[in-house]
Amino acid sequence: MHGRVKVKTTAQQQEEKRVEREAKLKSYRKAMAAILARRGEGRRDQQQLLMTAGVLQANADLSTLWNIRREVVEELTRVAREEEKEEVEKEEEEKQVEGEKKVEVEALLQREVELTQACLTSSPKSYSAWHHRAWALHRMDRQDWPRELALCDRFLSLDERNFHCWDYRKAVAARAGQSTEKELEFTRERIDTNFSNYSAWHYRSKLLPLLHPGLGAQPLAEAARLQELDLVQQAAFTDPSDSSAWLYHTWLAGDPALPTSLLWLAASQGRVTVAASSRVQARGVQAA
């Protein structure tokens, strides 16, 4: 009827999506064929960077393309350094020539960092993109590590279980000179936001022994262990069915092969709660 908006049927919508997917697949195959052909010919130039960037922004998990980009960047860096050496031999202003080439290489690496930023925005769990970002930053003369920590904070606020970002953060924290205390504080903030955060609990288990080393086979000092048992108890009571806190509790309990030791004891309203490092047989206990 006149005046009515024509609504597409489900079949029509599915057909349009199918056609769109086929067109994208055809474009992807064509681009990949061209990139790999150029790689086989030894083409390591700006055009290769442009072509791979287009595909990676659609699919950041293509590790082959990140490898190709690293090959190109290393080649362009080598060429820049050779040109710098040749120009220095001809020019008197050696420092000026060196400065220009360093700026050129830094700009090249900065573009790699910017590309990973774009890719991670749409694919925040892309291991390949995180790895490439670290690779580029480590080759730059100047890195803004506090900015990278802030970037991790932002991504982990969006998805606290992004373990790729957690791994990246560990490396960045070390390069930024972030103290173990600060990192431990960060894990507590993440856990307080959501107890069901496997990565935060795991990272915490790596940091605590550095601050509070235990004696002998025990990785953690007893006082710190008791404090952590209080924390993990809060998590378990909040959501008893969540396994993240229980896994952390298992770590706190220690190696079951070690002699049984008392980990935690509390009494409240006529009830005694006991935690031990391994299973014990209760004897002579009378139920209330």
Q: Assign residue 123 the CATH number of its domain.
A: 1.25.40
Structural domain span for residue 63: 21-85+99-141
Identify whether 72 is part of a domain: yes
Identify whether 77 is part of a domain: yes
* Mean pLDDT (whole number) for 95-109: 78
pLDDT > 70 in the chain, percent: 85
Average pLDDT of the chain is 86
134's CB contacts (< 8 A; 6+ apart) are 168, 171
pLDDT in tens, 9-41: 787 778 777 877 887 889 999 999 999 999 999
C-beta separation of 65 from 55 below 8 A: yes
Identify whether 247 is part of a domain: no
Q: How many domains does the chain have?
A: 1
Identify whether 256 is part of a domain: no
| Amino acid type, 63 | S
Instruction: Evaluate if residue 207 carries a pLDDT over 50.
Output: yes
Instruction: Evaluate if residue 1 carries a pLDDT over 60.
Output: no
As a whole number of angstroms, the distance between CA 154 and CA 160 comes to 10
Q: Which of 92-96, 160-164, 213-217, 228-232 has the lowest mean pLDDT?
A: 92-96
Tell me the longest C-alpha to C-alpha distance in the chain.
94
Question: Is the pLDDT higher at 10 or at 247?
Answer: 247
C-beta separation of 174 from 145 below 8 A: no
Identify whether 182 is part of a domain: no
Identify whether 117 is part of a domain: yes
Question: Is the pLDDT higher at 273 or at 172?
Answer: 172
* Mean pLDDT (whole number) for 94-114: 82
Q: What is the pTM of this model?
A: 0.77
pLDDT band of 100, cuts 50, 70, 90? confident
Dig out the tokens for 115 from the structure: 């590309």
Burial of 191 (0-12, 13-18, 19+ CB in 10 A): buried
Identify whether 159 is part of a domain: no
Identify whether 14 is part of a domain: no
